[in-house]
């Protein structure tokens, strides 16, 4: 480790050297005790100097490994689309990514300014590019950034595709010596893109509406949480005829997220400013998207109160709305399929069964849903895609994107709210209607944060202890089966996930986060009525 520190102090840029010279011994250890993980979801980590941080050199190293993969496939001319969000160093990392590719003779399409993750996915497909890179740490705190890779279908790379890239990255010994061309040096190898991608993307999103041109009755508050959603979400909603009230203090792309307590739509505090705006304006709905605009959070005015919907709830409402509208308009295929994950509420399964829609499960991560869409496209008897969603506030409606898309979700959710308002219903009324038909479902997520090397070991120990000491009941509730995805069922890749299925269809799942130093515990509990459900849920979570 000391050799790495010395090499960096002797050869890195002045800013990096100054940062390292100001670090304590403990900080230096954490910065260099390992190389930053490049896993099946790419890289995500703290911004800073060191091999265990995301910085200009670790980004260059990742891109050099990716460049070798592109060259091996002879895809230099097809090129790579590159997008980035509002975070610290995002533009720098995007330019370095393009510069490393250019030094290897590989074409890239670099967005002129901030763009959402779903638009990056669209751009890959629209341009016929070989792949894509997006610089983002999604909903993480401001001290984080990240790097995600996409395949030629616009889907995040699945493990089988990313494995050779990781091998290439691990072979690189000196990330400080990787050649990087500037934009001026690269010439035509770096093409700047913008409105020529925005316009067809917006057109595709707007085509999803069931009621184009119909006057809207609802008033919508929107916050992009200082992120990339500000322009596309507001553009699409206004083009669709909605009265959109922006949370002005959270619209500018601030890398410090100064005017929000939390940029994650999963967190109630992310809605504080939006709900204040709802109170002042009498709006029916507040929506918020995370910084890279792939997740959507929703607050609903219901009986003069504000109700936050979970990702499972908003996903179920959207799915129910889409199926009903397609049935109403006679566009519902008789062999459609919905994709969801093993930690997402089984309420969607019940809705699908009622409409004759097949359900296929994947591991956590929207790349697996995107890959399922591809598999069905290629299959002789593939099923048409209807919807995909996961509990972490992400969904996909139109498959011209292959990642979760909060621009699409924003439009469809507002469409649904307006449609039901004309029937004197709120989205909470619709959720109650769904519960009345399919049973009452509730969900809960508990995350245990354990940082650093010792934290990673503790998380590994939690999963190891659960495997070594299997249980047949929790709080007196009998477990029907335990599914260990280290020895996965057919059709699933191996993963460090444990799933406990109860006899009534409820479940508990445990997995380490792929993007944060957390161990996550997911609870999905279902029952016939609220009283029985409450007792059951309290027992499982005890």
Range from 44-53, 318-327, 476-485 carrying the lowest mean pLDDT: 476-485
Q: What is the pLDDT of residue 529?
A: 57
The helix (run of H) or strand (run of E) holding residue 305 is strand 305-309
Residue 28 lies in a domain: yes
Are residue 298 and residue 359 in the same domain, yes or no?
A: no
Average pLDDT score over residue span 508-532: 81
**What pLDDT, on the 0 to 100 scale, is given for residue 72?**
97
Residue (of 353, 345, 526, 317) closest to 439 by Cα position: 526
Residue 541 is predicted with a pLDDT of 46
The predicted-structure confidence for 362-389, as pLDDT tens digits, reads as follows 999 999 999 999 999 999 989 999 999 9
The number of domains in the chain is 4
Confidence bin at 528 (pLDDT 50/70/90):
low
Q: Is-contact 444 541, C-beta < 8 A?
A: yes
Picking from 416, 447, 423, the residue whose alpha carbon sits closest to that of residue 509 is: 447
Decide if 431 is inside a domain. Answer: no
Last residue of a domain, one of 292, 308, 324: 308
Task: Please give the helix or strand (H or E) that residue 462 lies within, else none.
Answer: helix 452-468
Q: Tell me: the pLDDT tens digits for 212-227? A: 999 999 999 999 999 9
- Same domain? For 461 and 527 the reply is yes
Q: Which residues pair with 132 in a beta bridge?
A: 81, 150
For residue 511, give its domain range.
440-541
- Counting runs of H as helices and runs of E as strands, what totals does the chain give? 18, 21
333 plus 471 within the same structural domain: no
Q: Which of 284, 308, 332 is the last residue of a domain?
A: 308
Specify if 531 maps to a domain.
Answer: yes
Residue 296's domain is classified under what CATH number? 3.40.120.10
pLDDT confidence of residue 282: 96
Task: Report, as an integer, the average pLDDT of 267-294.
Answer: 97
- Tens of pLDDT, residues 132-153: 999 999 988 999 999 999 999 9
User: What does the pLDDT average to over 168-186?
Assistant: 97
In a domain, 428, yes or no: no
| pLDDT > 50? residue 537 | no
Q: Is the pLDDT of residue 336 over 90?
A: yes
pLDDT of residue 530: 54
Q: Are residues 135 and 270 in the same domain?
A: no
Residue 432 lies in a domain: no
Residues 158, 261, single domain; the answer is: no
Mean pLDDT of the chain: 94
User: Which residue, among 99, 61, 93, 62, has the nearest Cα to 177 in the 3D structure?
Assistant: 61
Same domain, 302 and 318: no
Same domain, 449 and 507: yes
Is 264 part of any domain?
yes
Pick from 164-168, 305-309, 475-479: least confident? 475-479
pLDDT tens by residue, 449-494: 998 889 989 999 999 999 999 988 887 778 999 999 999 898 898 8
Quickly list DSSP for 8-70: HHHHS-HHHHHHHHTS-HHHHHHHHSSPPP-BTTBEEEEBSSSTTSBSHHHHHHHHHHHHHHH
| 37 and 185 in a common domain | yes
Average pLDDT over residues 174-202: 98
Same domain for 445 and 344? no
* pLDDT confidence band for 11 (50 / 70 / 90): very high
pLDDT of residue 40: 66
pLDDT at 540: 46
Residue 507 covered by a domain? yes
25 and 49 fall within a common domain: yes
Q: What percentage of the chain has pLDDT greater than the value 70?
A: 97
Same-domain pairing of 158 and 105:
yes
Single out the residue in 136, 160, 193 at which a domain terminates.
193
Model confidence at 302, pLDDT cuts 50, 70, 90, reads: very high
In a domain, 324, yes or no: yes
Average pLDDT over residues 198-214: 97
**Cβ atoms of residues 512 and 501 within 8 Å:** no
Query: What order do you get walking across the sheet with 80-84 strand by strand?
Result: 43-46, 144-150, 131-135, 80-84, 108-111, 190-193
Q: What is the pLDDT of residues 218-259, one digit of tens each?
A: 999 999 999 999 999 999 999 999 999 999 999 999 999 999
One domain for residues 37 and 168: yes
State the catalytic residues: 138
pLDDT digits (tens, 9 = 90+) for 61-115: 999 999 999 999 999 999 999 999 999 999 999 999 999 999 999 999 999 999 9
The domain that holds 489 is classified in CATH as 3.30.310.50
């Amino acid at each position: 480790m000391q050799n790495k520190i010395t090499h960096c102090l002797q050869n890195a840029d002045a800013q990096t050297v100054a940062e390292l010279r100001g670090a304590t011994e403990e900080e230096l250890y954490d910065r260099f005790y390992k190389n930053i993980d490049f896993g099946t979801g790419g890289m995500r980590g703290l911004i800073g100097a060191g091999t265990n941080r995301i910085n200009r050199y670790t980004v260059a190293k990742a891109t050099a490994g990716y460049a070798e993969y592109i060259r091996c496939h002879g895809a230099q001319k097809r090129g790579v689309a590159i997008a980035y969000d509002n975070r610290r160093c995002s533009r720098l990392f995007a330019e370095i990514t393009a510069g490393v590719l250019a030094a290897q003779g590989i074409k890239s399409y670099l967005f002129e300014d901030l763009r959402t993750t779903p638009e990056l996915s669209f751009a890959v497909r629209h341009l016929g590019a070989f792949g894509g890179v997006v610089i983002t740490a999604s909903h993480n705190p401001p001290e984080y950034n990240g790097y995600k890779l996409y395949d030629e279908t616009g889907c995040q790379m699945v493990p089988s595709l990313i494995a050779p890239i990781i091998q290439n990255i691990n072979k690189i010994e000196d990330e400080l010596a990787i050649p990087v061309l500037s934009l001026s040096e690269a010439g035509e190898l770096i093409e700047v893109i913008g409105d020529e991608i925005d316009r067809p993307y917006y057109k595709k999103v707007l085509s999803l509406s069931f009621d184009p041109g119909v006057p809207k009755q609802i008033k919508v508050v929107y916050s992009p949480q200082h992120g990339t959603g500000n322009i596309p979400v507001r553009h699409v909603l206004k083009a669709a005829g909605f009265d959109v009230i922006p949370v002005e203090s959270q619209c500018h792309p601030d890398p410090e997220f100064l005017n929000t307590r939390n940029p994650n739509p999963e967190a109630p505090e992310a809605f504080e400013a939006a709900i204040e705006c709802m109170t002042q304006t009498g709006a029916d709905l507040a929506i918020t998207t995370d910084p890279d605009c792939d997740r959507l959070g929703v607050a609903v005015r219901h009986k003069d109160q504000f109700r936050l919907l979970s990702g499972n709830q908003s996903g179920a409402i959207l799915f129910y709305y889409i199926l009903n509208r397609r049935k109403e308009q006679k566009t519902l295929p008789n062999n459609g399929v919905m994709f969801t994950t093993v930690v997402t509420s089984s309420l969607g399964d019940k809705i699908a069964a009622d409409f004759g829609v097949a359900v296929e499960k994947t591991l956590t991560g929207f790349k697996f849903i995107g890959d399922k869409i591809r598999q069905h496209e290629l299959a002789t008897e593939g099923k048409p895609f209807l919807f995909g969603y996961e509990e972490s506030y992400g969904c996909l409606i139109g498959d011209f994107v292959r990642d979760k898309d909060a621009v699409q979700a924003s439009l469809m959710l507002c469409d649904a709210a307006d449609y039901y308002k004309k029937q004197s219903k709120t989205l909470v009324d619709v959720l109650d209607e769904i519960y009345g038909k399919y049973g009452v479902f509730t969900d809960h997520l508990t995350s245990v944060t354990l940082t650093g090397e010792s934290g990673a070991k503790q998380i590994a120990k939690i999963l190891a202890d659960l495997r070594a000491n299997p249980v047949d009941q929790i709080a007196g509730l009998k477990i029907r089966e335990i599914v260990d995805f280290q020895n996965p069922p057919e059709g699933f890749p191996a993963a460090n996930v444990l799933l406990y299925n109860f006899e009534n269809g409820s479940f508990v799942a445990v997995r380490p986060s792929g993007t944060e130093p957390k161990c996550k515990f997911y609870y999905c509990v279902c029952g016939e009525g609220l009283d029985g459900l409450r007792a059951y849920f309290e027992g499982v979570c005890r």
